[in-house]
């Protein structure tokens, strides 16, 4: 029976991982700010663990948002970097785990457009979130090497599952309320992966270690994803606007400011394909995830 520490156990991905691996073969200890075995804010202090762990799965962190203030920018460092340092210090006081899995992000590559980016691509992020993930990765890699702990880093794109946060959650809300609009046919492709597939993969990859991108291998377009969502909430019509009109609106947004739903920068991101190569995981472990368009289910009450 494996004893597992799961940080961020009450987060979007953490909950799904907990439900997947908490069974008669494992004892899972959650660490979160509340309602867990360890109620703790990692960025504030070094945790005092009363248990020993074979595996640590580190999902806790500040999610990818656009910071509006210097305080919000500092939070990425405090939570994602200092929080990781404090976690590792706490583990050093106790018996060291045999394996460590860190949930990172494709944001470390620091690019907004590209096709089939693999793990050998340079880490070029210069935004607070991407930089904090790069720093956390390095700290973890060095720590694991020093203490002879098997280290796994999973770089994830858009994570898909029921009741998601962030941009996907906003997209679902927009479709429900009728204000989501595809631009220029919504043909731009983006990599994504089902949270449930990531959760199922963790225990297998943790035995060997390494750095891996994980995607569903299909890279759905905005149009395909919006149609999938629409069909699950009664087939609501998803409108589309021509690119010319979108460019006019973006110029208005440049003048009006942050309260306007779109500007030239946002439009460029929407129109830029960004996909990642997960063939390393497929070859090493037989990673064969469910396509998001097939496996994505909204909550039953939508």
Closest listed residue to residue 205, CA positions, set 299, 281, 120: 281
Q: Mean pLDDT, to the nearest integer, of 125-138?
A: 96
Which pLDDT does position 94 carry in this prediction? 82
Q: Mean pLDDT, to the nearest integer, of 137-143?
A: 98
- The angle subtended at Cα 44 by Cα 39 and Cα 47, nearest 5°, is 50
Q: What is the pLDDT of residues 213-250, one digit of tens each?
A: 999 999 999 999 999 999 998 888 899 999 999 999 99
In a domain, 240, yes or no: no
In a domain, 253, yes or no: no
Q: What is the 3-state secondary structure (H, E, C) of the chain?
A: CEEEEEECCCCHHHHHHHHHHCCCCEEEEEEECCCCCEECCCCCCCCCCCCCCCEEEECCCCCCCCCCCHHHHHHHHHHHHHHHHHHHHHHHHCCCCCEEEEEEEHHHHCCCCEEEECCCCCCCCCCHHHHHHHHHHHHHHHHHHHHCCEEEEEEECEEECCCCCHHHHHHHHHHHHCCCCEEHHHCCEECEEEHHHHHHHHHHHHCCCEEEECCCCCCCEHHHHHHHHHHHCCCCCCCEECHHHHHHHHHHHHHHCCCCCCCHHHHHHHHCCEEECCHHHHHHHCCCCCCHHHHCCCCCCC
In a domain, 181, yes or no: no
Maximum Cα interatomic distance, the chain, rounded to a whole number of Å: 61
The percent of residues in the chain predicted with pLDDT above 70, rounded, is 98
How far is 36 from 30, CA to CA, in rounded Å? Answer: 5
In a domain, 28, yes or no: yes
Confidence at 301, pLDDT banded by 50, 70, 90 = very low
Closest listed residue to residue 201, CA positions, set 5, 12, 17, 3: 17
pTM of the full predicted structure? 0.93
Overall size of the chain counted in residues: 302
Q: Mean pLDDT, to the nearest integer, of 104-127?
A: 96
In a domain, 256, yes or no: no
Closest listed residue to residue 51, CA positions, set 25, 22, 72, 30: 30
Average pLDDT, the chain: 93
In a domain, 76, yes or no: yes
Q: What is the pLDDT of residues 64-102, one digit of tens each?
A: 766 677 777 888 999 999 999 999 999 999 889 999 999
The parent domain of residue 56 ranges over 2-162+192-217+275-295
What the block records as the tokens of 256 is: 């009006």
Report how many domains make up the chain.
1
How far is 227 from 183, CA to CA, in rounded Å? Answer: 14
Q: What is the pLDDT of residues 264-298, one digit of tens each?
A: 988 998 999 999 999 999 999 999 999 999 999 98
In a domain, 226, yes or no: no
What the block records as the tokens of 40 is: 């703790």
CATH of the domain at 122: 3.40.50.720
Which pLDDT does position 72 carry in this prediction? 79
Which pLDDT does position 67 carry in this prediction? 63
CA 214 to mean position of chain CA atoms: 10
In a domain, 233, yes or no: no
Query: Is the per-residue pLDDT at 184 higher than 80?
Result: yes
């Amino acid at each position: 029976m494996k004893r597992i520490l799961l940080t961020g156990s009450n987060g979007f991905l953490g909950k799904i991982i907990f439900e997947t691996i908490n069974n008669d073969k494992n004892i899972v200890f959650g660490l979160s700010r509340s309602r867990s075995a360890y109620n703790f804010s990692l960025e504030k202090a070094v945790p005092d663990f009363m248990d020993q762990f074979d595996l640590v799965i580190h999902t806790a962190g500040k999610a990818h948002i656009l910071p509006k203030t210097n305080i919000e920018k500092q939070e990425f460092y405090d939570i994602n970097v200092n929080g990781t340092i404090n976690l590792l210090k706490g583990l050093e006081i106790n018996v060291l785990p045999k394996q460590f899995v860190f949930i990172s992000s494709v944001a470390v590559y620091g690019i907004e457009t590209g096709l089939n980016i693999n793990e050998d691509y340079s880490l070029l992020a210069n935004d607070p979130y991407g930089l904090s993930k790069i720093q956390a990765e390095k700290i973890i890699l060095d720590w694991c090497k020093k203490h002879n702990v098997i280290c796994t880093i999973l770089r994830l794109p858009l994570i898909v599952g029921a009741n998601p946060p962030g941009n996907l959650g906003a997209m679902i809300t927009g479709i429900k309320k009728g204000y989501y609009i595809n631009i220029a046919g919504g043909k731009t492709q983006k990599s994504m992966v089902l949270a449930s597939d990531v959760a199922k993969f963790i225990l297998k990859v943790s035995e060997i270690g390494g750095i891996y991108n994980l995607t569903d291998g299909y890279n759905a377009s905005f149009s395909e994803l919006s149609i999938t969502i629409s069909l699950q909430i009664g087939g609501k019509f998803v409108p589309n606007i021509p690119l010319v009109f979108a460019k006019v609106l973006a110029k208005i947004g440049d003048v009006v400011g942050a309260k306007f739903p779109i500007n030239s920068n946002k439009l460029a991101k929407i129109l830029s394909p960004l996909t990642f190569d997960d063939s390393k995981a497929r070859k090493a472990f037989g990673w064969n995830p469910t396509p998001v368009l097939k496996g994505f289910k909204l909550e039953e009450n939508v």
